[in-house]
Amino acid sequence: MKEYDLTKSLEMFEKAKTLIPNGIFGPRNPMFLGNQTHPCFFRSGKGGRAIDVDGNEYIDYMCSFGANLLGYLHPKVEEAVNKQMQKGGLMTMPMDVWTELAEYLVEHTPLADWVIFAKNGSDVTTWCTNVARVHTKKKKILMAMGSYHGFHSWSVPTPTGVPDEHRAGVVTFTYNSIESFTKAFEKHKDELAAVILTPIKHDIFQDLELPVPGYFDAVRKACDENNVVFIMDDIRCCYRLKFEGSHEYFNTTPDLVTIGKGMANGHPIAVAYGTEKMKQAACQVYFSGTHFYSGAPMAAALAALEIIRTEGVIEKINHLGQMLKDGMLEQAQSHGVEVSWSGPLGIPFMRFPKGGPAASITFAGSATKRGVFLHPHHNWFVCAGHTEEDIKQTLEVTDECFAIVKKQIG
């Protein structure tokens, strides 16, 4: 298979670096993606596919890092956005969709007695920790080591520039270890305001882990007995496991939940919701951002959520995810390459235990240069815009990539 030419993309990245610190931020920076294997800039997208600035087409398994759940440019979502924009995008006061979306979320989310709106996951995870502090009159936050809850000072993974005192109240334990959780909880419980957890472990570079039996029960019980708030950070998984919330999928009941990413098919909105008992504290914690009030992302969310709820989106993602998993595992075996496949069907990840990150870079880079966009170190996403044809075409590419990795690791 011929490898893509990325000339324009790489030239644009050189220019971007002269204008923007590092050219591109975060995990989209080429530094995290391998060596000149991935396009730096996309021009357009439709369904599960994206086209880069050189005109190369990709079956995109990063899906805007999870935000694209229905496929790029889903017509019903875009129509709702365009309609809302005709009325006004961001206005002085919230628009009528504000209450409409709140009502929709409360009606269809059993745990939600109220909701608030923001732009980013980081906005709402941080706000929830402060709500927990007001509710409990305590200060510390317990989180799993290595979990990502956003870029704000208290939890950013690389704390360059963050004063130590901003992290002084954050204590950690090992995800999925009830023993580690209990030990940390017992030590800090008199000062703990909240435990914040993701519904699955999805740390970069590592296998994804589903919660072990009894894990969330232990958290719930400890929180109940010690006046500690249980926050579920569902920003990444929301609407890919269960419409009513990933906590319902795993049978647990947090006090506060954050969602974002796939809820508006790429339009910028994030939400926190909670139970009645948290509402008084929620009323007291200041929350505002100039763009939090934009109507268009709310219209997008209303349209996207109704599609997810009524059109079998999660089933479709699971079906396609199963095809992808079965196909790639069969290929790995036939090439004699050991892999570790992890995660739910719609949020998969694959590692090479023998080849390490270098093999992941080769595999994801080779696939991307042949039209299947994969991240070497971050979990992938399947979206409802993907098709069976996309999966079949993906497998043609990955077959060649397993052969390349086999040569590298022997």
Ligand X SMILES: Cc1ncc(COP(=O)(O)O)c(C=O)c1O
| 260 is a contact residue toward ligand X (CB under 6 A) | yes
Please identify which residue in 54, 233, 255, 390 interacts with ligand X, judged by CB under 6 A.
Answer: 233
Q: Report yes or no: 232 and 254 within 8 Å, Cβ to Cβ.
A: yes
Is residue 406 packed enough to be buried (19+ CB in 10 Å), middle (13-18) or exposed (0-12)? middle
Q: How near is the Cβ of 379 to ligand X at its closest, in Å?
A: 9
Please identify which residue in 9, 56, 122, 394 interacts with ligand X, judged by CB under 6 A.
Answer: 122
Q: How near is the Cβ of 18 to ligand X at its closest, in Å?
A: 26
| 343 is a contact residue toward ligand X (CB under 6 A) | no
| 148 is a contact residue toward ligand X (CB under 6 A) | yes
User: Total residues contacting ligand X (rule CB under 6 A)?
Assistant: 13
**Calculated CA dihedral for residues 284, 114, 66, 290, nearest 10 degrees:** -50
- Based on CB atoms, which residue is closest to ligand X, 198 or 398? 198
- Based on CB atoms, which residue is closest to ligand X, 235 or 350? 235
| 385 is a contact residue toward ligand X (CB under 6 A) | no
**Binding segment for ligand X among 34-42, 48-56, 142-150, 314-322 (CB under 6 A)?**
142-150
Range 150-189, binding ligand X (CB under 6 A): 150
Structure tokens at 362: 């080769």
**Binding segment for ligand X among 117-125, 285-293, 303-311, 385-393 (CB under 6 A)?**
117-125
Q: What is the arrangement of strands in the sheet containing 372-373, beginning at the earlier edge strand?
A: 42-46, 49-52, 57-60, 372-373
- Based on CB atoms, which residue is closest to ligand X, 202 or 369? 202
Please identify which residue in 84, 120, 126, 294 interacts with ligand X, judged by CB under 6 A.
Answer: 120
Q: How near is the Cβ of 121 to ligand X at its closest, in Å?
A: 2
| 37 is a contact residue toward ligand X (CB under 6 A) | no
| 125 is a contact residue toward ligand X (CB under 6 A) | yes
| 235 is a contact residue toward ligand X (CB under 6 A) | yes
| 265 is a contact residue toward ligand X (CB under 6 A) | no
| 121 is a contact residue toward ligand X (CB under 6 A) | yes
| 236 is a contact residue toward ligand X (CB under 6 A) | yes
| 116 is a contact residue toward ligand X (CB under 6 A) | no
**Binding segment for ligand X among 29-37, 143-151, 213-221, 346-354 (CB under 6 A)?**
143-151
**Binding segment for ligand X among 52-60, 144-152, 217-225, 379-387 (CB under 6 A)?**
144-152
Q: Return the amino acid letter for 93.
A: M
**Binding segment for ligand X among 128-136, 219-227, 232-240, 248-256 (CB under 6 A)?**
232-240
Q: How near is the Cβ of 241 to ligand X at its closest, in Å?
A: 13
| Chain positions contacting ligand X, by CB under 6 A | 120-122, 125, 148-150, 198, 233, 235-236, 260, 270
